[in-house]
Amino acid sequence: MIFEEDGRRTIDERKHLKVSTRSYSLDSGVLIEMLLDTPLGHTISESLLSDSQIIAYSSHFNLTEVEYILCRRLGRDLARSKVDNLVRSNYIILTGAENLCATAAQIKCERALALGDCYTLANAKVTASTALFAFREEDLSREIKRKPFDVDIEFLEDSHPKPAS
């Protein structure tokens, strides 16, 4: 269940969506790229704006991580404003599933990953969505090779090839 009560969509509503709907659990890195309006972030923002068939989930934990990273880069007031605007935009659905914390804890127990990454993977599992990370970080790549995850994983950087040096 989603515990946002101000008109946002809930997870239960996805049962009524068309089969072609794509859903993603957005990692903190993706949200940071979006809020800093980088080329990678612009890609996902444009997709969310132009394609109503895309559903984007995130968690309060990931938003906390986004806000403290933006606070260090941009200052407290601008970071708070950007996160508040993102939440109010309704482009992401904040997941408050009862088993989200337990699922993230189980992943953290079994895997050598940052807790934020565990929340993204847990959110993908709980919402039956694809985990979307901004970059292929070493620890996540290592864990994928060691033992595949039971959720689909994509990387935003794959949609933007690096320019030739």
How many residues in total does the chain contain?
165
At 138, list the tokens. 């070493």
Domain boundaries, the chain: 22-137+144-159
Q: Which CATH number describes the domain made up of 22-137+144-159?
A: 3.40.50.1010
Residues 115/108, Cβ–Cβ less than 8 Å: yes
Give the CA count within 13 Å in the CB-facing half-sphere of 32: 19
pLDDT at 20 over 90: no
pLDDT at 21 over 50: yes
pLDDT in tens, 34-61: 999 999 888 888 888 888 888 999 999 9
pLDDT in tens, 76-127: 999 999 999 999 988 899 988 778 999 999 999 999 999 999 999 999 999 9
Whole-model pTM: value is 0.81
Residue 128 to residues 103, 121, 138, 144, 165, Cα–Cα distance (Å)? 13, 10, 25, 18, 39
